[in-house]
Structure 1
């Protein structure tokens, strides 16, 4: 509970604590969706008999995930980009299946 004479807690980026927690929660959702999409991609590559391509993509996804969990800006951007690309492609697939 906050009293009238207390200042709200602010972290180093001048964000309120609730806002920082909200951003952290949304980023965790991005990471979970990134892991799911990476696993689906790697499994599809292994089932299509492209073992080398699957291993390389697994290595690339794990490097991006490692740096994304370390909160590197470029890795966070790639994680969000990959998730949004997969959402966009999923919507296109759903639209093409329903239009037929």
Structure 2
């Protein structure tokens, strides 16, 4: 399965070369995110997270939070009682190592 990911990366790279060396949106986003992570600290992410939370609360009512809370509650635990978010973050970190 790991080979298919590396093959896709190679295909994307060759496609970029075929398109006059234009960068894909995916690659541009990845590079931008990596640079942001290198040039900003934990406080930066806390501040933008707080701003996002404030904007969300201004744009949504109590019912919205009840609905997403119910969805999160039903999807956040598996049979052994651990949360899916920790499982997804470990899979995300393994995906980041492949690039």
Q: Taking structure 2 as the reference length, what is the TM-score of the superposition? A: 0.31
Which structure has the higher relative contact order (CA within 8 Å, separation 6+)? 1
Q: Taking structure 1 as the reference length, what is the TM-score of the superposition? A: 0.31
